[in-house]
Every structure is written in C-alpha cells, then in structure tokens.
Structure 1
C-alpha cells in the first residue's frame, strides 16, 4: 500500500507556501506557534480529515494542494476551506487521466466507475486494498455492514499531537473503537477476502429473510385488520355477498312489478310538517295561556301592593281620629247630631251592627297577610316566566324544524325524478358495491396463501444462513497466519520498548496482545496479575512513547510479513511531555532506533517527524530533509512566511 507524499502547497492571501517532502525522512522542528503541527494537520486535511482552524489558517489560508503518489498513480489533491464535503482530485497513471470532485461521504451512486463511491474508496482502490465491509456491531449477527475507510487505516499512520497521550488509536472510545479493531484484524490477517465475501453474503441473506418476514407480517396484519387473514373468512364473506346480491335482485324485480312505493320521501316530510304544525299550535296556545296567567298575576301583585298602601293609610287615619268628637262632617260641613242613638254612626249614620269597626287592632295582621300573598304571587310569576321561556324556546325549535321539513318538501316537489327512480338507483348502487367488494375479495383470496409461502421461504433461508455461518467459522479457523502475525507484533513491540529504553521494561517481561480489545499488555516477568497497558503507563511521556512504539511495531511487522497498511508514518511531537535535556537517554535512543528502522526494515516507508528539537540522522542516512521554523529569523521563516499574528 504505497503512499508517497511529495509536495504540500498552501495558497495564502499574500503568498504561496511550498513544503517539499523527502521520500524517506522529513523532519520539521523549531519554535512554538510557527506552523509545525499545521503541516501534519493539513496533510490529514488533504487526505480526507477535518480542517484545524488555527488563527493563521482561519485568517490567511485560501486553499491547499497536495501532490502525492498512490501505487503507480500520481495525484493532485485540492481542498478549499469553504467546502468541507468534497475533494477536488486530479490523477494520472495506469493509462488513465481523470479529474473529479469526490464526496467525503459515500452517496447512493458511484462517483467513479462502478464501485468508487467517495474519496476514501478511490484512495483504497489505488493503494491496492479491497473495499472492505464489516459489521457495525460485532456482537449482533444481524447488524448492518459498514465500510472500512482510508481514514480508519490512516489513524495508525498519523500520530497527532493532541491524541498522543490521551487516546490509544480510539480503541477506548465505545462508538469508534470497532473500526480500529477491524483495521487491526485486517492488517494482521484475521480478515480475508473470502471471509469478507461470506460475511457480505450472510448479511444479504439475513436482510432478505428479514424483508420476507416483515412483508409477511405487514400483509397478515393488513388482512387481519379487515378480517381477511384466512381463506375460510374470505370464502365466507364471498358467500354472504352472493346471498345479499340474490336478495337484492329479487327486491329490484319486485319494485318493478309493484310500482311506486306507498309513501315517498316528500310525503313523509309532509306528514312531519303537519305533525309539527299541530305541535306548534298546541305550543302556541300554551305560551299564550301562560302569558295570560303571568299578566293576571302581575296585575294582582300590583293590586295587593296598592291595597297594602291603602291599609297603611287607613290605619294611620283611624289612629289619628280615634276619640275625636265631630261637630260637622269633614267632607260637606253638615252639622252632626249632638248625640248618638247608639245604633247608627254619628258621622255617616251607618248601621253600627254591620260596620267593620275600622282597623283597630287588626291592621298589622292584614298587612302581613298581604305581604305573604305578594311573595307567593312573585314566586308563582317566576315559575311562570321560566315555563314561558321554555315553551317559547320549544316553540322556536318546532318552528325551525317545520321550516326545514317544509324546505325539503318544496325541494322534493320541484324535482322531476320520482322517488321510485331514486330508490331504484340506490338499489343499483348497492348491487355495484357488492360486485366491487366481491371482485376485491376474489383478488385477495390468494393473499393468505402468499403470507404462508413467504414465511415458508424465509424459513428455508435459515438453512442457507446456517451454511454460511459454518463456512465463516471454517474460514476463521484458518487464521493461523494471523496468529503468527500477532506473535511477531508482540515480539517487535517488546524489542522496541527495550531499544528506546522505555522505563522499567525488562528483558524477561512479556507482551500480550488481547485479541478481543486489541490493547497490548505488559506482563512484568510474565506475571499476568501485574499486567498494565497504555492507560496505566502513568506519566504523559510514557503514554506517548508507548503509543509510538506500538505504531512502529505494527509498521515493522507489516514490513517484515508484507501486511496491508499504508507505507507512511507521520508523528507529531514524539517528545511530547519528554524534555530532551532532562531525559537525553530516551531522546537519543528513540531517534537512533527510528533511524535504524528507516534504514533497514522500514526503508520502503516515508516518515514525517515534527518536534521541537532536531536530532541529526547518521551520516549514512540517505535522502532526508529537515526544516527549521522560527518567528524572527528570515532564513528560517514560519510556515506562512509573512504571518506573525500569533
């Protein structure tokens, strides 16, 4: 999987910055904030990653180009910061020349040829790697397949500064760790083309089986909702419709013989109008009678109130004139007899035996009696008013109903078509509905059988699934070469840790690669109970060295055993958290071992190193380049030569 980076070009607002890479070793070093890490980040960006928007990049970068070689194909990769979803790619080689705007994410249709759906597919294809698909969830045999992308491989080739001491190739991240595991399985020989094909076939057969069963389930639920989920039910419904159609035919024939029905809809409405008219008249009389009684009682209340006032005045007059002796009539002035005969009134000469005797002593009782009668009448008036209002409301409803019925009568009388024809049409419409319903039932009569056939066919696929699972197990049992690669990786990792003088790593310590988690563990003196790994290393510097050594061991094993991994290694700040002047031994031994590997087993690899301090390769190290980046030395400018903002 040859990947050779040649030139990185930064198109800036005021300049064009060009970074030339050596095919063997390129070392970038110098001061902080001069753009060293930005070189690796822009390489990652050109290879499909995201853009790290530092202040300099955000304010000055207009575009970026990368000239590279994949296999025997020369590439010109162009990206624009304003477009994050695609890569402009121009290629030449293998007898073909092309230019395409390839999407980062795969779409539904191929972008190039028949099987290249995105930028990652293009890179993998020209690196000589098959387009692999793996299960999204390993513990779920029904899980959908997903692609392994170039980015999944590149995380083992680009060791970026932020993740050097915080993440071990994303193997600790629950969502993203499965792809890292899949890459290690493939690189180390635990994933073959045959296995990939079998897993694809198994996924397709399972998907077909799920589709059949889901289709049968939905069809059965639909038929069950309308009561047609069995042939017997459909047959029973067809027989019922046939019987109803026969009865309908008889009714149609009888209607033709008998003629018009005895009562039409208009006549029925007219009868309703007549009945409502009688009810309205009765209700009107009731309303009138209640109104009359209401008026009488209201008049009676007024009379009682007036009488009460008269009684009050009479009582007052009697009280005032009590004991008075009249010399003359107060009305006409006629002198009265000086003496009474005891039989007649002195004043009006009325018979005293028949006179009421005034209101002495009984006026209060009479006033209370009048008040009670007035209260009784008021309550009666309230009841009459409620009854009157209710009757008026009922009268209004009856009147409205009669108006509607009369409107129907008038409308029916205006229609030319007779009630006979309307009823005949109604019968014909029902007969048509019966025929349509029966036709539908005849068409779906075979559906219950189709449901059973689908389920039977889905069950038959279980045998095919079992066969494919056996083939997959057989193929996986052949991975003896993969197990041999794992043992070689364990040996190389231990040798590298010893070679760089990793703290507390002894010759009799053992390295164990857990093939479930794919974390390498150190067993001090072979004691598994004392095992530790990346997250247990303690200091940040040890975690950095642990991760870099594992990556070097993986690439060394790939070189020794011809394993499929891109032949490039980009390390940003291998001495992160390690001070060269305080830990000179580790600093020197690491770079000496790195240069030794690049001159021997990894001589076909391209290595790009970014660090603050430069370590000179040996004199016999051919074809290497180094660049110093500073803020103030014009001979060694920063990445963007004119920019000094941050």
Structure 2
C-alpha cells in the first residue's frame, strides 16, 4: 500500500488563517451550497500537484495553501502559492528526525532537484514511499520509435479522488483519449497485471528496439551511400585502391620523364645563360664604379668650396686688423664695460690687456703664404675633378653599351626557352593535375575503407541487440505468465463490485447478475442474470444518479481489494458528493445503505484508509460502528458553522 494520510489543510487568506482538521479516519463535510465544501477536496488535490478550479472566493481571498500529511515514514508539509504556481515547497522529516526542504516542480524538468532521481513533486512522493517512478510506452503498440511516459501521482488520484464535476460523466478517465492508456496502466499495475519489473523490462525492450532501429538505419543508409561509389564491400574498395595507386605511380613516372626531357632540351641555352650571368656581373661592377666616381666628384667639389671660403676668411681678418688699428675704445666692444675707469699701462691694450707695440702693430707675415697655399690646393682639386668627370662619362658609355647587349641576350634567351616551355608547361600541368587527383582520391579511398568496417560493427551491434530483444521478450513472457495472481484479483474485484452494488441497493441489480471486466480495455459491464446480450455499463447506465453510484461503488471495490491484498494504491479516498443526482427524500434507502456500508468498511477492511466525504446531506454512522469519525456542517453567513472562508460574503 502507498501509505498517505492527511493531518490538516491550511489556508493563508488575506484576512485570516484557516485550518481544516483532517486528522481523523473518516471526515464528513456537509452543508449548503457555496460554503466551500468541494473546495476542500480541490485544494488537497492542488497541494498534491493537481489543478485548481479558481472560484471567485479563491481568486479574491486565498494567497497560498499548505497540506500537512504523512507519506510512508515521513511527515510532510506541502506549500503552494494559490496563483497556480508550478513550484511546491516540500518540507520532510522522517522518524529519525532527519529533515530536508526543497522547491520541487509540479511537472518533471530536465534536471533532478533531489537525490539524483527526484524531478517532480510526484517523484518526491514516490521517493518517500520507496517506489520507483513508473514509465509506460506512449502508444498502445510498442514500436521502434515509441517513447516512454511517466506515470505520476495524478494518475493514481483517478482511483482515489472522485471530483463532483465529473462524477456522473467520467468513468476513471477511461473515455478520455489523452488519458485512457495511463488510466488503464494504473489498474494493471495495481492488480498485478503489470509489475514494476515488467514495466522495467518493457522500458528496456523499448530502448533496445530504438537503439537497434537506429543502428540498423544508420548501417543501411551508409551502405546505400557507398553503393553509389562502388564502396559497398572491402573487396571493391581494395580493388579501387590498388587501381588508383597504379594510376598515381604511372602519373609520377610520366612527370619525371617530362622534367628530364625539359632539362635535356634546354641545355643548348646554358652558354647563353653563362654569358648573361657574366655580363650581369660586369654591369654590377660598372654600376658600383660609377657610383664611386660620382661620390668622389661630389666630395672634391665640396672640398674646393670650403677652400675658396677659407680664402675669403683670411682676407677678411687682415682687413679688420687694419680698420681697428689705433682706435681708442671707451667701452668694451664685446660686453660694453666702461674702459676709461680702468687703470692700464700705455703699452697694454685697454680691451684685452695684451702688450702692444705702439709704433708697429702686429702684422702676420704668413697671410700671404696661406693665400698661395689655398690657391694651389684649389687648382689641384679642379684638375682632379676634371679627370673624374671624364672617367665618369667613359664608364657610363661602357655601362649603356653592355646593358644593351644584355637586353639583346635576354630577348634571345626568352625566345629560345619559350619554344621548350610552352610544350613543357602544357604537359607538366596535365600530369600534375593527374597526380593531385589520384593522390586525393587515394586519401578518400583510405578513409572510405574504414566505413564498411564501421558498418559491419553497426550490424554486429544490431544483431546483438536483436538477441537482447529476444531475451527481454522471454523475460516479459515469463513475468506475464506469473499474472495468475492478477487474474484472481480481477475476478475477486468483479465479485466484490457486485456485492457492493447489491449492498447499497443499486436499482436493477440482483444476486443473479454478473460483473464482467474486460482484461483488454478494462470496460466494466453488468450482465443481468448473466445474459451477454443484456450487457450494460457506466456509459448506458441511464440516470446520472446510477452513474454516480456506479463510480463510487467501483472505487470502493478497488480499495477493498487493494487493502485486502496490500496492493499499491494511496491509502485515502475522497468522494465529492457520492449521492449527486440522488434525492435523499425519495431515495432514503440508497442514502442510508451507501453510508452504512461505507462506515462498516471504514471499521473493518478499510480501517487503514482515510476517507473524506463531501455531500449536501449528512448521514452519521450508527452507534454500533466504532470509527474515528468527525463531521463539519458548513453554511455561508453562519458564525457557528462557518464556510471555508468565514469572513467572505460573495458568490
């Protein structure tokens, strides 16, 4: 059994904090309409990850809601924002006092949020119950590309919570195309027509088939691709490789032959090349000589200019000495100092204080010698410059003549080579293209040579996967063969369901009738007096009251068998208005029979199952039955028996 029981439901409203006591085994909420009775069940379901019908009262007043419950050996507090938040805050503590708190998504994400295996709130509940997450194929027939979908606590809730809005128009989601398979898989799992081991084997089989299909498809695709290029086998590739090698070797030999022929055909111009090479060396030497002569002429011309400038400087110094001779300076011509106050001897210069000869001022005798020497040097430079200029002219003429000869030789060499190169280039380009083509083709072939081997590996893996599939099918068959217990449980479910219908007084049911549950589609039918042609079921039961009673009784039958044989189903039942569409005044016997039977179950086989009943009318248990029972009357505007939100006055 999945031991889940509730302690309390807590509402955080805008003006108050409301707590609904859920700590008893059987809880009966009754009262007038619009008092919030159904909202209690919906809020419990909301805290467990379900959707919430947002009534006006909930939209306007409820901020958040929390549910305190027991899950296996853990005490758990689930907190969820009333704005349909996708996150639930779960606080858990076990019997040893170990605790943790996590924010867990309602729907599974891509990454685990706890213990490496909890992806959603449902996973957390299963983790606390020490149950592995269940997965089933997404389609009825398991195929190569079929994915697996998760079964969640919501799926189990179909057999634990009967919602008032769907109680008379929905038979445990069996008619809902989007949920039919998962609802039936839950029944198969509960009644041992499917086990956790079987689900795991089916999941392995699905994954193995998918992998095998992918390997096989990849191998076939590669083989078809290679066939277009004659690469479908090692023999074909080896033959093509050898053929390409031979062609490449032949092309390389042809290239060497063409290069050798070119070398031999062009030896006649080697003499011409040598002449041009010697001529280039001579031109280079001449060019360097011309540069040296020009540099020497430039240097000597510059020196001549400096010598001429020196002549002017010597003449200028002599003239200045004569001009300033005998002048009596009053102030220093350099700094302007007054010289009249300076006491000097008559034989000393007032300016520089040097001794002087008053009668014969100093006159340098070597000025004339210097002038003669400068003139001689200038004449020598003129002669040297003239000689260099003549040599420069001669060198330039010789350079021009040899340069012309070189141009003629270059033209002749180009003409001679052109005859050979045009043929050589044409031949060598063709053979180079062949060499490059065969080289790249050989590289591609070597790469392609690995592909058949990889294809063979893929096919070997696919073959091994086929063997694994056969083994998994054998194990699945063995596991399925063990479903004798499951068949016995379904037969017992048929008997118990009929007993309940008789016990509560379902109209048109007698002990001679028979209940039949189809093992393929799980349709539940009534066979009056065992007659097949009179078969009827939920969908053609007729009145809404009979449909409501049909669903409620079948739910009780499931929990009776589950409790008796310790089958995996949550240990709580929530039925919102089991007497929907049934008038208490007209059908008093059905009312009393149903609730008396329910209380009797709660005190016996379902004594470990928590039962929450919501209905407009209230029938208490008889004094002969001892159970942990509590009821709450709810009425809007009644302070002594307040509604779910006491202060709220609205629709």
Q: Same fold (TM over 0.5)?
A: yes
After superposing the two structures, state which structure 1 stretch, 167-176 or 71-80, moved more: 167-176
CA–CA distance in 2 between the matches of 1:496 and 1:112? Answer: 43
Q: Is the 8 A contact 2:8 2:23 kept in 1?
A: no
The alignment status of 1:521 with 2:522, answered yes or no, reads: no
CA–CA distance in 1 between the matches of 2:265 and 2:590? Answer: 113
Q: CA deviation at 1:71?
A: 0.9
After superposing the two structures, state which structure 1 stretch, 636-645 or 579-588, moved more: 636-645
User: In the TM superposition, what whole-angstrom CA distance separates every residue of 1:553-591 from its partner, at most 9, and x where no partner exists?
Assistant: 110111122211111000011111111112111111111
Q: CA 1:64–1:428 in 2, change beyond 3 Å: closer, same or farther?
A: farther
SS at match of 1:162: helix
The alignment status of 1:28 with 2:29, answered yes or no, reads: yes
After superposing the two structures, state which structure 1 stretch, 620-629 or 38-47, moved more: 620-629
The alignment status of 1:154 with 2:153, answered yes or no, reads: no
Q: Is the 8 A contact 1:90 1:98 kept in 2?
A: yes
Matched residue, 1:556 = 560
Q: CA deviation at 1:171?
A: 1.1
CA–CA distance in 2 between the matches of 1:119 and 1:147? Answer: 13
Matched residue, 1:295 = none
Q: CA deviation at 1:527?
A: 0.9
Q: CA deviation at 1:630?
A: 1.4
**1:387-398 to 2 correspondences below 5 Å:** none
Equivalent of residue 504 in structure 1, options 508, 523, 535: 508
Q: CA deviation at 1:258?
A: 3.1
CA–CA distance in 2 between the matches of 1:109 and 1:78? Answer: 21
Q: CA 1:492–1:261 in 2, change beyond 3 Å: closer, same or farther?
A: farther
Q: CA deviation at 1:635?
A: 1.8
The alignment status of 1:176 with 2:183, answered yes or no, reads: no
User: In the TM superposition, what whole-angstrom CA distance separates every residue of 1:481-534 from its partner, at most 9, and x where no partner exists?
Assistant: 111111211111111101111001011111111111112211111112211111
Equivalent of residue 223 in structure 1, options 222, 226, 235: 226
Q: Is the 8 A contact 1:569 1:608 kept in 2?
A: yes
Q: Is the 8 A contact 1:165 1:544 kept in 2?
A: yes
Q: Is the 8 A contact 1:490 1:511 kept in 2?
A: yes
Equivalent of residue 645 in structure 1, options 636, 644, 650: 650
CA–CA distance in 2 between the matches of 1:429 and 1:536? Answer: 84
Matched residue, 1:586 = 590
Q: Is the 8 A contact 1:28 1:627 kept in 2?
A: yes
Matched residue, 1:18 = 19
The alignment status of 1:211 with 2:214, answered yes or no, reads: yes
Q: CA deviation at 1:101?
A: 1.3
Q: CA deviation at 1:425?
A: 8.6
Q: Is the 8 A contact 1:4 1:23 kept in 2?
A: no
CA–CA distance in 1 between the matches of 2:117 and 2:172? Answer: 28
SS at match of 2:167: coil
User: In the TM superposition, what whole-angstrom CA distance separates every residue of 1:28-51 from its partner, at most 9, and x where no partner exists?
Assistant: 111212211111111111111112
SS at match of 1:631: coil
User: In the TM superposition, what whole-angstrom CA distance separates every residue of 1:340-390 from its partner, at most 9, and x where no partner exists?
Assistant: xxxxxxxxxxxxxxxxxxxxxxxxxxxxxxxxxxxxxxxxxxxxxxxxxxx
Equivalent of residue 194 in structure 1, options 193, 197, 202: 197
Q: CA deviation at 1:257?
A: 4.6
User: In the TM superposition, what whole-angstrom CA distance separates every residue of 1:146-172 from its partner, at most 9, and x where no partner exists?
Assistant: 222111111100000111111110112
CA–CA distance in 1 between the matches of 2:542 and 2:265? Answer: 102
**1:329-478 to 2 correspondences below 5 Å:** 431-432=435-436, 434-478=438-482
Q: CA 1:168–1:243 in 2, change beyond 3 Å: closer, same or farther?
A: same
SS at match of 1:133: strand
CA–CA distance in 1 between the matches of 2:228 and 2:54? Answer: 58
The alignment status of 1:111 with 2:113, answered yes or no, reads: yes
User: In the TM superposition, what whole-angstrom CA distance separates every residue of 1:55-107 from its partner, at most 9, and x where no partner exists?
Assistant: 22222221111111101101110112345332211101054311111122223
Matched residue, 1:121 = 123
CA–CA distance in 2 between the matches of 1:99 and 1:140? Answer: 39
Matched residue, 1:598 = 602
CA–CA distance in 1 between the matches of 2:71 and 2:132? Answer: 14
Q: CA deviation at 1:436?
A: 3.8
Q: Is the 8 A contact 2:24 2:630 kept in 1?
A: no
Which of these two proteins has the greater Rg computed from alpha carbons?
A: 2
Q: CA deviation at 1:249?
A: 5.5
Q: Is the 8 A contact 2:244 2:438 kept in 1?
A: no
CA–CA distance in 2 between the matches of 1:434 and 1:642? Answer: 92
CA–CA distance in 2 between the matches of 1:69 and 1:227? Answer: 69
CA–CA distance in 2 between the matches of 1:466 and 1:614? Answer: 59
The alignment status of 1:626 with 2:631, answered yes or no, reads: yes
Aligned residues: CA RMSD: 2.8
SS at match of 1:452: helix
Q: CA 1:244–1:525 in 2, change beyond 3 Å: closer, same or farther?
A: same
Q: Is the 8 A contact 1:629 1:638 kept in 2?
A: yes
Q: CA 1:89–1:437 in 2, change beyond 3 Å: closer, same or farther?
A: farther
The alignment status of 1:490 with 2:509, answered yes or no, reads: no
Q: CA 1:34–1:441 in 2, change beyond 3 Å: closer, same or farther?
A: same
Q: CA 1:103–1:217 in 2, change beyond 3 Å: closer, same or farther?
A: farther
User: In the TM superposition, what whole-angstrom CA distance separates every residue of 1:182-224 from its partner, at most 9, and x where no partner exists?
Assistant: 1111111222343234323322322331232122123324434
Q: CA deviation at 1:52?
A: 1.5
Q: Is the 8 A contact 1:159 1:572 kept in 2?
A: yes
Q: Is the 8 A contact 2:251 2:435 kept in 1?
A: no
SS at match of 1:74: strand
Q: CA deviation at 1:600?
A: 1.1
Equivalent of residue 537 in structure 1, options 515, 520, 541: 541
SS at match of 1:66: strand
Matched residue, 1:98 = 100
Matched residue, 1:70 = 71
Matched residue, 1:547 = 551
Q: CA 1:102–1:242 in 2, change beyond 3 Å: closer, same or farther?
A: farther
Q: CA deviation at 1:462?
A: 2.4
How many residues in Structure 1 have an aligned counterpart in Structure 2? Answer: 492
Matched residue, 1:135 = 137
**1:272-287 to 2 correspondences below 5 Å:** none
CA–CA distance in 2 between the matches of 1:211 and 1:104? Answer: 33
CA–CA distance in 2 between the matches of 1:242 and 1:30? Answer: 99
Q: CA 1:421–1:74 in 2, change beyond 3 Å: closer, same or farther?
A: farther
Q: Is the 8 A contact 2:36 2:644 kept in 1?
A: yes
User: In the TM superposition, what whole-angstrom CA distance separates every residue of 1:411-439 from its partner, at most 9, and x where no partner exists?
Assistant: xxxxxxx9999997997687456434422
Q: CA 1:607–1:248 in 2, change beyond 3 Å: closer, same or farther?
A: same
CA–CA distance in 2 between the matches of 1:22 and 1:193? Answer: 32
